[in-house]
Amino acid sequence: MIRLVRFTAFLLVALVALSACKKQLHPVSVIVTDPVRHYYPVIQGEMMGVTYEVENVSKHPLFIQEIQTSCGCLVPRDELPIVVLPHKKGFVHLEFNTIKNTGYVHHYVYCYGNFADSSCIEMQFDTNVVPSADYNHDYEELWHHQNEKGITARDYVDGLSSQKGYYTEDPGESQQQKAKDEIQEAIDHHAL
């Protein structure tokens, strides 16, 4: 009796595992509302939100598994994968940091997923980034202003000092400086 129960449980687990293996992504057709956009000018240093509406017009779910942008200043805000159910609308949310841009900018967004026509859809937008009318800030001033908010751009590149895995000595306390100070002290002592 116990063997029969174990065998039945094993068969059920095997059937579930095998049925899960047959699932695959089906190609879907989508409609992107206004994939090419022209935004009004924005002031340099502002954060600009860009949202694209993607409608799934197929009977299978859409999985957007990767989003690539033409600039590091344009960052996706959604967790991937983005799932859009059949005959529903979903959104691709992006955030554009204008701090390093001035003048006309044109950016591209590439979404990769199970699209029917290709593995990628392209969206794009352009705008003019204008400096503040009061005063033209240079990059260092904008960078300093952004650093006052917390984590700096240097922290993103170099990592936080607590996460580097090493430390450095204070330049005033280096071994070479200590040796130079001792030599100078000996010279001063013998000169008297």
For 59, phi then psi, to 5°, come to -95, 5
* Whether pLDDT at 132 is above 90: no
Q: What is the pLDDT of residue 10?
A: 55
pLDDT bracket for residue 163 (50, 70, 90): very low
* Whether pLDDT at 59 is above 70: yes
Neighbours of 143 (CB within 10 A): 15
Q: For the chain, which domains are there?
A: 30-136 (2.60.40.10)
For 158, phi then psi, to 5°, come to -85, -20
**What is the per-residue pLDDT across 5-47, written as a single tens digit (0 to 9) for each?**
565 655 565 555 555 555 688 999 999 999 999 998 888 888 9
pLDDT bracket for residue 183 (50, 70, 90): confident
Q: What is the pLDDT of residue 169?
A: 47
